[in-house]
Amino acid sequence: MAKDIVLDCRGLEPPEPLERVLEAVSGLGRDERVLMLLEREPHPLYRILQQNGYAWQTTARDDGVFEILISLKA
């Protein structure tokens, strides 16, 4: 079962959310995931994740928060 690391970046100004999530994913193990919470969709992050072998799933919640679940590609 995957272990989720919750990273609440709501209210932070760029580039802090990007810096925090990159630090969090840099040490991910196969059974770990990072769940990032943010008020906007982080398009620059997707490019970085793709280039570095991560998979992600984005869910837009009704309250305007984006949930980005990040893991290592299988």
**Looking at the predicted structure, is the pLDDT value of residue 12 above 90?**
yes
Q: What is the mean pLDDT of residues 57-72?
A: 97
**Looking at the predicted structure, is the pLDDT value of residue 1 above 70?**
no
Q: What is the mean pLDDT of residues 11-17?
A: 95
Sign of the Cα pseudo-torsion (59, 64, 34, 13, in order) = positive
Beta-ladder partners of 4: 33
pTM of the model: 0.93
- In this prediction, residue 72 carries a pLDDT of 95
- In this prediction, residue 7 carries a pLDDT of 97
- Domains annotated on the chain, with CATH: 3-72 (3.30.110.40)
Question: How far apart are the C-alpha atoms of 68 and 41, rounded to whole Å?
Answer: 9
